[in-house]
């Protein structure tokens, strides 16, 4: 009798992560077939529709790219913190905080020229997101308070803040008493790129690229890697851990806030409590699949954008949009499971397997 056991590889498989990702996608699509057949749909037609709506033509591409922007920036926010071993679970709220900052600039910036207004909006968005992360950052750096809990709880605060504003001071007088903020003026809108894609795509790509270079090529990124690998080693090398934690978490919040500003200015009509739309949480998955690397974040965000847009499109066929959510989750599970194989290989052994993995 022989049976498979996992044996640790002496070196992690190079290029294993994209492979794991592909396996995860394949697993998701196969399981998806079962789901769709079970609910009485033709899986081929559904997949075809999803593909067409997300990647089928330039227009589909533009929508997918727009969706990849907040996913990628939120993923980058999580990855920046994650590269130092910190977990920013608060990107959802920081996106909101960024949107509040940007919307506030719109209120005071009536009549400003568009480039000035948009620049000010995005700057305010970065500040807003960074500000929301500042509390958790100080608490973690000075007192060692777990940032997972503090950033998570502040999500609620930010979302309630938007509700409070749209129900109160920021309510549009012409909204017939609906709790809605006023529509954005045209000069607060990001210019278009092609089809429905907006300039945010370029901005997000630049920001991700910048962080990629900073993380891998600069002394700052080196210090971050050392601190992420071992705090004691960082102290030994003369790197101030509290300062690193502070800057990294605030920066992470700022990147998420930037996503909020772009989302408001690029795709939303007005600030609403659903503007962040789960991007902050999806960003955690994106960052995890990208192994906290900026280059990976961009690729994963594009794929998740396509899956989300495809998932929305099949609702007109009577398929629940939950299918796309389930597919995203299955990709994660599949990729994480397959990721094990980048570190272990399967070996068939005779008899029992008591020494597996030792």
Partner 1 sequence: MTEPSHPIGPTGPSETSGGDAPSVELPAVELRDIWKRFPGVVANAGATLRVRRGSVHAVLGENGAGKSTLMNVLSGVYRPDEGEVRIDGVAHHFRTPADALAAGVGMVHQEFRLVPSFTVAENVVLGACERIVRRPAVESAVEALAGRFGLAIEPDRPVWQLSMGERQRVEILKALWRDARILILDEPTAVLTPGEADELGAVLRHMADDGRTIVFISHKLHEVTGFCDEATVLRGGKTVAASLSVADTDASELAGLMVGASPVITERPPAREAGEIRLQVRDLRCSDDRGLPALNGLDLAVRSGQIVGVAGVAGNGQRELAQAIAGLRHVESGTVHLVGEDRTDATPRQRFADGLGYIPEDRIGVGLAPRLSVTDNAVLRTYGRHRRGPFLDAASATGHCRDLVDRFGVRTGPLDEPIAGLSGGNLQRLLVGRELVGGPRVVVAAQPTRGLDVQGVKAIQDLLVGERDAGAAVLLISEDLDELSTLADRLLVMHAGRIVAEFDPVTAERHAIGEAMIGHAETADDTGGDQ
Q: State the residues that interact with partner 1 by CB under 8 A.
A: 10-11, 214, 217-222, 225-226, 228-230, 232-238, 352, 354-355, 358
Q: Hey, which residues does 345 pair with through a beta bridge?
A: 7
Name the minimum Å distance from CB 339 to partner 1. Answer: 16
Name the minimum Å distance from CB 46 to partner 1. Answer: 42
**Closest CB to partner 1 among residues 205, 214:** 214
Q: Phi then psi for 299, rounded to 5 degrees?
A: -65, -45
CA-based nearest residue to 204, from 87, 65, 89: 65
Name the minimum Å distance from CB 350 to partner 1. Answer: 12
What is the C-alpha to C-alpha distance for residues 181 and 111, in angstroms, rounded to an integer? 18
CA-based nearest residue to 158, from 227, 86, 244, 96: 96
Residue 92: burial class (beta carbons within 10 Å; 0-12, 13-18, 19+): buried
Task: State the residue for tokens 């200015």.
Answer: 265
CA-based nearest residue to 259, from 188, 201, 304, 340: 201
**Closest CB to partner 1 among residues 165, 215:** 215
**Closest CB to partner 1 among residues 186, 355:** 355
Name the minimum Å distance from CB 341 to partner 1. Answer: 18
CA distances from 310 to 61, 213, 236, 270, 345 (A): 11, 32, 50, 24, 34
Name the minimum Å distance from CB 259 to partner 1. Answer: 25
**Closest CB to partner 1 among residues 81, 188:** 81
Tokens describing residue 64: 């997918």
**Closest CB to partner 1 among residues 74, 80:** 80
Name the minimum Å distance from CB 142 to partner 1. Answer: 16
Instruction: Say which residues have a Cβ less than 8 Å from residue 225's Cβ, sequence separation at least 6.
Output: 83, 215
What is the C-alpha to C-alpha distance for residues 34 and 47, in angstroms, rounded to an integer? 13
**Closest CB to partner 1 among residues 144, 318:** 144
């Amino acid at each position: 009798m022989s049976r498979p056991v996992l044996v640790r590889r002496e070196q992690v498989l190079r290029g294993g992560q994209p492979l794991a990702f592909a396996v995860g996608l394949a697993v998701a699509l196969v399981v998806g077939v079962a789901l769709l057949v079970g609910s009485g749909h033709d899986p081929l037609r559904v997949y075809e529709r999803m593909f067409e709506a997300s990647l089928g033509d330039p227009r589909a591409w533009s929508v997918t790219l727009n969706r990849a922007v907040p996913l990628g920036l939120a993923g980058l926010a999580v990855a920046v913190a994650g590269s130092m071993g910190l977990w920013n679970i608060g990107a959802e709220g920081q996106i909101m905080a960024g949107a509040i900052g940007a919307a506030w600039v719109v209120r005071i910036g009536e009549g400003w020229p568009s480039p000035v207004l948009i620049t000010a909006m995005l700057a305010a968005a970065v500040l807003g997101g960074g500000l929301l992360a500042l509390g958790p950052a100080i608490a973690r750096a000075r007192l060692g308070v777990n940032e997972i809990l503090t950033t998570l709880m502040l999500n609620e605060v930010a979302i309630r803040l938007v509700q409070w504003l749209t129900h109160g001071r920021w309510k549009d007088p012409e909204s017939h008493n609906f709790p809605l903020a006023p529509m954005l003026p045209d000069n607060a809108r990001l210019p278009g790129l092609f089809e429905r894609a907006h300039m945010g795509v370029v901005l997000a790509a630049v920001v991700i690229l910048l962080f990629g270079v900073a993380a891998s090529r600069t002394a700052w990124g080196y210090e971050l890697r050392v601190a992420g690998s071992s705090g004691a080693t960082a102290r030994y090398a003369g790197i101030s851990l509290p300062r690193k934690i502070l800057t990294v978490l605030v920066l992470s919040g700022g990147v998420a806030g930037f996503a909020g500003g772009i989302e408001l200015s690029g795709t939303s009509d007005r600030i609403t409590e659903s503007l962040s739309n789960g991007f902050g949480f999806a960003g955690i998955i994106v960052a995890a699949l990208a192994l906290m690397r900026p280059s990976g974040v961009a690729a994963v965000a594009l794929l998740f954008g396509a899956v989300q847009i495809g998932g929305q499109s099949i609702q007109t066929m009577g398929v629940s949009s939950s299918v796309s959510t389930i597919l995203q989750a299955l990709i994660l599970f599949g990729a994480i499971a397959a990721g094990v194989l980048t570190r272990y290989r399967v070996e068939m052994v005779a008899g029992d397997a008591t020494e597996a993995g030792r």
